[in-house]
Structure 1
Amino acid sequence: MFKTITILIPAYNEEEVIQQLYTRLNKVIETIKGYSFEILFVNDGSRDCTAEIIKNLRIKDKRISLVDLSRNFGKEIAMIAGLDFSRGDAVVIIDADLQDPPELIIEMIEYWEQGYDDVYAKRESRAGETWFKKWTASTFYKLLQKISRIPIQENTGDFRLLDRRCIEALKQLRETQRYTKGMFSWIGYNKKEILFNRDSRAAGHTKWNYAKLLDLAIEGITSFTTVPLRISSMLGIIISICSFFYMLFIITKTLVFGESQTGYPSLMTVVLFLGGIQLLSLGIIGEYLGRIFNETKRRPLYFVKEYNDNREFISAAQHSEKGYAQRQRI
């Protein structure tokens, strides 16, 4: 019985590139012998014709599956939805924009057969990105590596091959605010790095603006380290000690030299500085409290509008159990 490899593709408003992606993927798949393939698209609430194009492709190619989410939940949620519905012994996650070359899948499979569980692609160059975006990405990864207790791979995205045991591990991580790049590192297992040059988008426009990238960076930091809370506590201790000695200085100065009316600018500087530190600390605490608040709701991560022409309601857990039973029978 051939091993099955699922190629997982999250897609959001990618009508301009879906056909090109399928053509290149199909050429790659035809060169790989001894495996069966599932091409699993996750339509993340696209507002264009992405879902319709995928459905038309599915009529011609039954290897294609479509998970059509009920709305736009974001790429991180779309990926876990794809993992929930994947049927393969391994899953290759690839973006729809063709910045990650599908031809690299061949090398990933070779390393997987050598015993590696997580074969990830690291970018040597990033075509089509501004120097500012490259600099901010590099700075963020360096910062996260320093403050996190787990190794975070720099210049790596979601383009990778995951063995089934990695998939099952990731499916157990059900937090609503997700930073999947960190989760790949957190679960461990045998990893292998592949270097590649990232291309520009084949068509369309990126869905990641700086506001979304900043939000993702905050998710990454708050998901895998409590260092910001510790820094906030240390700042409070240091400022409290400095304030105590400054208070002693003011009392001594007043007793020795008498009360003075001068010092308003310095007083306002101290008040504004302390106020800024307090607001910063409250903001950091608020970020973590917000995450706790969202997690305690225990809402489902997503809802599926349609799965391969089946519009009946089915939860991720039910589908996951069904898929596990099918694999056990095989």
Structure 2
Amino acid sequence: MTSVAYILPVYEEEENLAVFHAAMQAATSTRPDLDFEFIYVNDGSKDNSLEGLLELRATDQRVTVLSLSRNCGHQVAVTAGLDAAGEADAVIIMDTDLQDPPAVSMEMITMWQDGVDVVYAQRRSRKDGAFKRATAYGFYWVLDRLASIDIPRNVGDFRLMDRRVVAEVNRYREQDRFLRGIVAHVGFRQEALLFDRDERYAGETGYPLRKMLSFAASGIIGFSTMPLKMISRLGFAISALSVVLAAYVFGVRVFNPDDSVPGWAFLGVGMFLLSGIQLIMMGVIGSYLGRVYVETQDRPLYSLSLVARGAS
């Protein structure tokens, strides 16, 4: 029987879990021809999410529970689920706050069975606040212009991937993970499925502004060298400004020496010139060195404190 695994990252979603899983059961009951597994990944939740997941498992043996030893972030939690779902014919990534309607995943499965390798859910509308919509628009606008690959706009991690795609994605083990960029990078046949995103059922988002900015930086830096080029260009611009300033100082000293101020010329030109050079070198070396340092440590992406699967 064809198998489909859901990767369901959880971070402090105790109020949503029972309602979400009931919606998942209702949606998947329309496809009795498929073998479903629900892989919930507890991302170091501090509330009672883990207990709630174990209660779900007690009533539904299709539920697998993975618990990370600490909070590693949404992208790493999804990665842990992908690692565990290697035998499934297809994998669907969803959040558990009911903003991604479970019924939409049934449409994804139909498209996959028609030959699409990756079906990504593209938001036709979203019921977020004005600030969230504005920052999301700004992020995708910047990413679209800076990234070296085409990453679809208004697309999160809600998607279906064929097992061949999952195998390729699992080969990417960088620490600063941006999965929607990785999936775009691996290629294969990818198509969009438009849907209307709902509001959170309960609780608060696990992505405050600080995490959103960090996530955006990972996406831009991980798939674009344009920030390095912009820093270098800024450095060259400042250096050019110092040359203009030097020409001005020289002109004042030659043609209007009474207006010149002794000593400031050398300090001004030297400061701008050295600042420009420092920006160029620090921008190039610092950005690359930081990434190289983290990757060469070759640390595991995560550690599991609990695995509840099958008869265990």
| Both structures adopt the same fold (TM-score exceeding 0.5) | yes
Report how many aligned residue pairs link the two structures.
308
Query: Paired residue for 2:119?
Result: 119
Match of 2:300 in 1: 300
Following TM superposition, by how much is the alpha carbon of 1:84 offset from its aligned partner in structure 2, in angstroms?
Answer: 0.2
* Separation in structure 1 between the aligned mates of residue 269 and residue 240 of structure 2, nearest angstrom: 17
Instruction: Give the fraction of aligned pairs with identical amino acids, expressed as a percent.
Output: 39
Deviation at 1:242, TM superposition (A): 3.0
Shift of 1:149: 1.8
Amino acid across the alignment from 1:148? A
CA distance in 1, matches of 2:38, 2:273: 56
Q: Which residue of 1 aligns with 2:237?
A: 238
Deviation string for 1:187-246 (max 9, x for gaps)?
111011111111110111111111110111111110001111111122222322332232
Against the structure 1 CA distance between its residues 272 and 48, is the aligned structure 2 distance closer, same or farther, given a 3 Å change threshold?
A: farther
Q: 1:280 to 1:200 in 2, by over 3 A?
A: farther
229 and 50 in structure 1: CA distance in 2 versus 1, 3 angstrom threshold: same
Tell me, what secondary structure is at the counterpart of 2:157? Answer: strand
In 1: Cα distance, 2:155 partner to 2:274 partner: 39
Amino acid at match of 1:295: E
What is the RMSD computed on CA atoms of the aligned residues?
A: 2.6
For residue 135 of structure 1, report the CA deviation from its aligned partner.
1.3
SS at 1:34's partner residue? coil
1:255 Cα deviation after fit: 2.2
Partner residue in 2 for 1:289: 289
Give the aligned partner of residue 92 of structure 1: 92
Quote the residue 1:138 is aligned against: 137
Residues 56-71 of structure 1 mapped to structure 2, 5 A cutoff? 56-71=55-70
Indicate the SS of the match to 2:249: helix
The offset of 1:283, in angstroms, is 5.9
Conserved? CA contact 1:228–1:284, under 8 Å: no
2:195 aligned counterpart, secondary structure: strand
Amino acid across the alignment from 2:307: Y
Distance 1:88 1:309 in 2: 14
Q: How does 1:219-234 map to 2 (within 5 A)?
A: 219-234=218-233
Contact 2:239 2:277 (8 Å CA) reproduced: no
2:309, 2:82 → 1: CA distance? 19
Secondary structure class of the residue paired with 1:202: coil
Q: 2:57·2:63 contact (CA, 8 Å) conserved in 1?
A: yes
Aligned to 1:31: 30
- The 1:54–1:273 alpha-carbon spacing in structure 2 relative to 1, beyond 3 Å, is farther
8 Å contact from structure 1 (residues 91, 163) kept in 2 = yes
The aligned amino acid for 1:242 is L
> Which residue matches 1:80?
79
Q: Is the 8 A contact 2:232 2:284 kept in 1?
A: no
Distance 1:251 1:272, change over 3 A: closer
Instruction: Verify the 8 A CA contact 2:63 2:309 in the aligned structure 1.
Output: no
Please report how far the alpha carbon of residue 29 of structure 1 lies from its aligned counterpart in structure 2 after TM superposition.
1.0
Q: Quote how far apart the aligned CAs of 1:60 are.
A: 1.7
Structure 1's unaligned 5+ residue stretches are: 313-330
The letter of the residue matching 1:161 is L
Cα gap change, 1:236 to 1:11, in 2 (>3 Å): same
**Contact 1:145 1:152 (8 Å CA) reproduced:** yes
Change in CA separation of 1:281 and 1:273 when aligned onto 2, cut-off 3 Å:
same
Runs (5+) with no aligned partner, structure 2: none
CA distance in 2, matches of 1:37, 1:255: 83
Cα pair distance change 1:280/1:72, threshold 3 Å: farther
What is the alpha-carbon distance in structure 1 between the residues aligned to residue 205 and residue 280 of structure 2? 32
The change in CA–CA distance for 1:46 and 1:277 in structure 2 (over 3 A counts) is farther
In the alignment, structure 1 residue 168 sits paired with structure 2 residue 150? no
- Residues 1:207 and 2:210 are matched in the alignment: no
